[in-house]
Structures are given as C-alpha cells and as structure tokens.
Amino acid sequence: MPRAGEQGRWAWIGMFMAELCFGLYWILTQSCRFKVVYHYPFKERLSYRYKDQLPSVDIFVCTADPKMEPPTLVINTIFSVMSYNYPPEKLSIYLSDDGASELTFYALLEASSFSKHWIPFCKKFNIQPRSPSAYFAQQIDVQDITYGLEWLAMKKLYKEMEDRIDSVVEMGKIPKETRDRHKGFLEWNSKVTKQDHPSIVQIIIDGRDKSVMDIDGGRLPTLVYMAREKRPQWSHNFKAGAMNALIRVSSEISNAPFILNLDCDMYANDADTIHEALCFFMDDERGHEISFVQYPQNYDNIMTNDIYGCSFSVPSNIEFAGLDGYGAAPYCGTGCFHRRESLCGKTHSKDYKGEWNVKAKQNADRTIDELEKESKVLTNCIYEKDTQWGNKMGLIYGCTSEDVVTGLAIQCRGWKSIHHNPNRKAFLGVAPTTLDAALVQHKRWSEGLFQIFFSKYCPFIYGLGKIKLGAQMAYSIYLLFAPTSIPTLYYVIVPPLCLLHGISLFPQVKSLWFLPIAYVFVARNACGIAEALSCGDTLIAWWNSQRMWVFRRTTSYLFGFIDVVRWQLGLSKTTFTITTKLNIEDVLKRYEQEIIEFGSSTIVFTIIASLALLHLFSLIGGITKIVLELEFKSLEQLILQVILNLLLVMINIPVYQALFIRRDNGRLPSSILFKSFVLATLACLMPII
C-alpha cells in the first residue's frame, strides 16, 4: 500500500474496496453450490396411474407487439402447445395480446383452422417438435411412403397459411372478405390503438363443444384470444398485468388447477412435458407443497460459441438446481407450470392436501357469448381497483422482473418450487441476435432485480425466517447484478491507468502476497472453466461469456443501477422494453457467422469503445515506459497489471476490429471512434492520486 503522500494511495484504497466487494459477492455465489438437486420424473407412469383422472391445464401465452413479435412466431408457439400429448378437452390455450392487434387475431383464426390438420398429423406420426416452423426446418429422412406424402401435403398447407398471414401483415390491414368471416373483427370497428381500447375476449375454439373436431374426428383444445382493456390514464403493468388478466379470464372459462405460462417465442419442444411437470404436483409425498415447476429458458438460435452469452448454462444447470436444493427455484417468467391456488395468493398450510382433482369448471349451461361478456368485465382497467391484484394476488406489480419477485413472494408464503432441466429441452425461445438487444435485455433485468432488493421484498428482510438463509443469499446473486457494475468499472479503468503512469497496485512477484492473489486468479478461473465445460459450453463460449460479463457490467448494469437510484429518488418510472424477435437478413447472417453486431451509435457503444481504447493506450504506453526506461525492476512490480491489461485487450479484440477493420454494417460507426478516442485520451491524461 502506497504510504501517505505517495502517488497512487487512493487508487490503491479504491482497489481494495473493489476487491472486497468481489470477495463478498463471491461468498453469495457459493450459496447455491452446496446442495444441487436434479430430478428424474417417471412421466410414463402418470397416465397408468391416473388414467382419465388427469387434471386440466390452462396454457397462457403472452404477446405484446405484432412488429417485434411476428404473428407467425406467436402461432407456432400456439401450435406446439395445442398438440401436446394430453387429452385436448383438458387443455385450454389463452393468448394475451398487449398489442391489441387484429393482425395477431387474424393469425390466431388461421391457426385454429390449420390446427385441425396439424394436431392429428403430429399425433399420428408422433413427430417432434410440434412447432411447424421448427419441425419443417429440420432435416428428415422419410422412409414410410404415407408419412412422406402427408409430410409434403402438410408442409404445403402450412406454407400457404404462412404466406397468407405474411401478406396480411405486410399490408397492415385485414381484407374486407376476411373480416366478414368472423364476428371477432367487429371488435376493431371502433378506434383501437395499442394504448387505448376496450377489452376484447374471443373464444375461437370452444373445447366443450363435441361437434368441433379435427379432420380425424378428434376433440380440440379450447382457444381464446384476449386483449385486456388499455387506457392512457391507467397503468397497465406490462406483462404482470397481462398475466393477472389471463388468470381471471381463464378462471371464468376453464379454471384448470394448473397453469403453464409461456412467452410468445417459447415453443414447446417436447410433447410430453405436461405429464412430466404434473409428476411433481401429483407426487404423494411432496406434491402438495409444490407451487411451481420452472423449466430453464433455452433457445433454438444459439450458435456454437454463443457470442452474446445468452445461453446462461451455468445458472440454469448449476445455480438454479442449487436453489432448488433449498426448495426455492426462481420463477423466470416463461416455461413455468403453476398451481393456480398458490399463484392467486394462497398461503401454504400444514393441512393443505393439494386439491388438484377438483373438477374444473364445466360451464355446461353457458353460451360462448355469455362467457365472453363476463370475461370482458374481468379485464377492464377498473376491475383491479381497490383489490389485492398485483400485490397479494397474482403477479406482483411495479417491477420489470415481475417473475422473480412473484416467485419469491410465493416461496415466502410457505410453498416450495422445482427447477427441472430435462435432457430433451422442454421449451425453446428466440435469443437476442444483436449486441444492443442483448445489453438492453440485461439492463431491464438488472434494473428490475435490483428494484426488488430495495423494495419490501428484499430477500434478507421479507424472506427472514420464511426461506432458508442460503436461498436468500442465492437470490441476492441476481438481485445485485446492477451494483456489481461499480467495482467492475473501477477495476477496468484504474489499474490500466496506473500502469500507464507506472504506479504499482498489486504485490510484486517476489513478495509473499503474490501467492494468494495468483491462487485466487487461477482457482477462480479454473473453476469457472470447469463449470462451463461441464454444462456443455465450449471453451470459446466461456471466453465469450467473460467478454459479455465485462460489457454488461460496464454498460447494462451501470444504467440499471443509475435508473434504480433515480427511481428511488422518484425521478423516473419503470418501463419494459420488449426484446425484438424479428431478424433482418444481413444481421442474421453475421449472427450465424458469430460476428458481433454493433452497428448503432448509442451511448452503450461509446462506453464499450472508450474502455477498449483506454486499455489499448495503457498497454502500449505502459510497456513502452517499462522498455524505454529499461527498468526491469519496475516490470517486476507491474507484471500483474500488464497481465490484467493484456487480458482486457484480448477480450476487446472484436471491438478493435469493429472500430478499425470491419467494413460491414455491423461495425462501429466513425462517430463512435471519434468520441471514444477523445474520451480515452482525456482519461489517460487524468492525474492519479
């Protein structure tokens, strides 16, 4: 430690604080590695045992914007869940459309017709996956001639439907002849905008009606379209609001005891998942205390080396399984089966037996019109006024990570949850394909999660005595993503600057203190690599994830942190930026080649580029200084800083390429080069105290 008055004393003290933060944070990360639990349900046995006693299941799909979430994507998710291997009369599928778009409604109508062909086809040949676009995208080897013929016919039928939808979406409005075909379009006769419209509920397929059949005479699942009322003066609470409206509408129509919740891009990849999830709820010993079964978020568009670190394989394979060990697997918003009662606010009590076999609502005597009319009332803005919805009932409002806070609240009411990660992935979604989208998504997450830490739901306070200490700690790993940005920023700025000025911050090679720091560095990274490899990542994917951690912590988490502080001071309101699921061809091509997409000139990229240049300048400057002044003694003192700086420069190689070499549209624009050059130079001139 530099003595009082010596240059670099305060820099050293700052480093010490940053390292202290990392150390404490590391302790938190250990909490979910003590009791990792994996489950192996025997799903085939469920039907043997319960035969026709299986409970009904409601499936909720949320969509919010026909541009960012194309209607064909949405209906592919719908097809995949309509064709689950589960008695169709026990399934009800609800689509919530926060975009209130007649295009999405139209696509759903088309889907209801096509499903009459698709469902029997899936079941007849037992195909997987049951999202048509994913299914037709895979190579198949047809030996059976009837299968081959039907495959061709089905593909043609699907393509025709897709073309019809795409052309309507392109036109942006529904042709008159189509509008006349279904009464549902009347809902769009008055002025309907995304932010301002009355409730819309349309039962497109009524599963109670035995005369509605697929082409092979099989029953069909209920299919419902819902767009809750929106008014500019009422806050709609984003996805949480949509989910709560879905809970109420479904309780009116089918009221199944179990609910599967999906984002519109997450198609079901395994046709037997319902059986599997029910095994947990219907287990004789533990079933009655289980509130939800969460499947990890997996994506079908991740490339081998996962450039944006989206696969999150270590958290979903190890950390969440570790939280499961405490009975506190987190709810992640999609791919999750809920018990309706616990989601609606019930507290778990010792004598609760788990009443899953209550007969679901039959509604035999009510017409579709009556059901629609009554459901609409439930989705009006005014309905939730002065109720516990968004607080003690349903999903919790006021936070963009509504999922995590809701899961935590459920666990604090005495329920347990399961994290289940089967070999065949249960759900596959669309991961962001540009750096900007990936960072914006993490900004929303880190912000929402940090809000929870600051609210009354802080796990250490709210969870005190209700969930295990280990679970409280493990939750905090994620809730504290945002503040980790501060020590990280310090660590990537100050040591390089000190190297440039020839100030030593780390122990010398000969010093005994060199050993612990070298040990921590090697051991920490070796563990990280071992965990990543054991979860199926490649070595390059691990390296890419290190880069993404640096990018996220210096940009997304920093902005998340700042916004939570502003929110605490009452200076800002929370917003939910939807992740786009649409891909431009040019961008997609680069994504497939694993080239990072920068492309725009936002402040995020200015920060990334400035830091990268700062690292480059410091490394070059620092080494020049060591060599020119021929002070090899100083090399001994500075070696750790040289290594750290070298690692940072290596991590930033794609940034230099995007600044200086690349010529495609995904490179960093020259305005960014200029700004970051000025900023990095200014930083280098800053005096170190």
Ligand X SMILES: O=c1ccn([C@@H]2O[C@H](COP(=O)(O)OP(=O)(O)O[C@H]3O[C@H](CO)[C@@H](O)[C@H](O)[C@H]3O)[C@@H](O)[C@H]2O)c(=O)[nH]1
State the residues that interact with ligand X by CB under 6 A.
62-64, 69, 96, 98, 238-239, 242, 263-264, 297, 333-334, 400-401, 403, 441, 444-445, 448, 576, 578-579
98 in a labelled binding site: yes
C-beta of 238 vs 397, nearer to ligand X: 238
Written as one letter, the residue type at 48 is Y
> Are 93 and 126 contacting, i.e. CB atoms less than 8 angstroms apart?
no
Query: What binding mask, one character per residue, do residues 388-427 give for Mn ion by CB under 5 A, x or -?
Result: ----------------------------------------
589 in a labelled binding site: no
Residues 496-535 interacting with Mn ion (rule: CB under 5 A): none
Q: How far is the CB of 402 from ligand X (least distance, A)?
A: 6
Q: Which does 62 bind (CB under 5 to 8 A by kind): ligand X, Mn ion, none?
A: ligand X
Rounded-to-integer distance, Cα 343 and Cα 348, Å: 11
192-212 burial: b if 16+ Cβ within 10 Å, else e: beeeebbbbbbbbbbbbeeee
C-beta of 264 vs 672, nearer to Mn ion: 264
Rounded-to-integer distance, Cα 405 and Cα 448, Å: 9
Rounded-to-integer distance, Cα 255 and Cα 129, Å: 28
Residues 578-617 interacting with Mn ion (rule: CB under 5 A): 579
Rounded-to-integer distance, Cα 298 and Cα 287, Å: 26
Report the candidate in 367, 365, 371 with the shortest Cα–Cα distance to residue 253: 371
Rounded-to-integer distance, Cα 334 and Cα 81, Å: 13
- Strands 427-429 and 298-299 turn out to be parallel
Residues 6+ apart with CB under 8 A from 47: 54, 275
Catalytic residues: 98, 403
C-beta of 441 vs 610, nearer to ligand X: 441
C-beta of 342 vs 451, nearer to ligand X: 451
Residues 6+ apart with CB under 8 A from 207: 88, 89, 91, 92, 219, 220, 221, 222, 223, 254
C-beta of 74 vs 122, nearer to Mn ion: 74
- Give CA 108 to chain center in angstroms: 24
Q: How far is the CB of 491 from ligand X (least distance, A)?
A: 27
Residues 6+ apart with CB under 8 A from 635: 626, 642
Q: How far is the CB of 69 from Mn ion (least distance, A)?
A: 9
Q: Which does 222 bind (CB under 5 to 8 A by kind): Mn ion, ligand X, none?
A: none
Cis? peptide before 55, omega within 30° of 0:
no
Report the candidate in 434, 494, 478 with the shortest Cα–Cα distance to residue 648: 494
Largest CA distance in the chain: 93
69 in a labelled binding site: yes
C-beta of 448 vs 459, nearer to ligand X: 448
Q: How far is the CB of 438 from ligand X (least distance, A)?
A: 10
Q: How far is the CB of 266 from ligand X (least distance, A)?
A: 7
Q: How far is the CB of 378 from ligand X (least distance, A)?
A: 17
Instruction: Supply the DSSP string of 444-496, one letter for each residue.
Output: HHHHHHHHHHHSTT-HHHHTTTTS-HHHHHHHHHHHTTGGGHHHHHHHHHHHH
Q: How far is the CB of 441 from Mn ion (least distance, A)?
A: 8
Q: Treating both helix axes as pointing N-terminal to C-terminal, what angle do 556-568 and 485-500 enclose, rounded to 10 degrees?
A: 130
| Strand, coil or helix: 388 | coil
Q: Which does 576 bind (CB under 5 to 8 A by kind): ligand X, Mn ion, none?
A: ligand X
463-495 burial: b if 16+ Cβ within 10 Å, else e: beebbbebbbbbbbbbbbbbbbbbbbbbbbbbb
Q: How far is the CB of 483 from ligand X (least distance, A)?
A: 18
Q: Which tokens belong to 92?
A: 């009800």
Q: Which does 115 bind (CB under 5 to 8 A by kind): ligand X, Mn ion, none?
A: none
361 in a labelled binding site: no
Does the CA dihedral 228-415-481-672 come out positive or negative?
Answer: negative
Burial class (CB in 10 A: 0-12, 13-18, 19+), 241: buried
Q: Which residue is nearest to ligand X (CB)?
A: 333
| Strand, coil or helix: 425 | coil
Q: Which does 472 bind (CB under 5 to 8 A by kind): ligand X, Mn ion, none?
A: none
Q: How far is the CB of 573 from ligand X (least distance, A)?
A: 14
C-beta of 135 vs 445, nearer to ligand X: 445
C-beta of 214 vs 265, nearer to Mn ion: 265
Binding residues with Mn ion: total (CB under 5 A): 2
Query: What binding mask, one character per residue, do residues 218-257 give for Mn ion by CB under 5 A, x or -?
Result: ----------------------------------------
Q: How far is CA 286 from CA 266, 290, 351, 415, 468, in A?
A: 28, 7, 13, 11, 18
CB neighbours (10 Å) of residue 546? 17
Q: Using CB under 5 A, which of the segments 28-36, 176-184, 263-271, 310-318 binds Mn ion?
A: 263-271
Question: Which residues are 268's β-sheet partners?
Answer: 427
Q: Which does 71 bind (CB under 5 to 8 A by kind): Mn ion, ligand X, none?
A: none
Residues 553-582 interacting with Mn ion (rule: CB under 5 A): 579
Helix (H) / strand (E) containing 267? strand 267-268
Q: How far is the CB of 477 from ligand X (least distance, A)?
A: 17
C-beta of 441 vs 554, nearer to Mn ion: 441
Known binding residues: 69, 98, 239, 263
Known binding residues for Mn(2+): 239, 263
Q: Which residues bind Mn ion (CB under 5 A)?
A: 263, 579
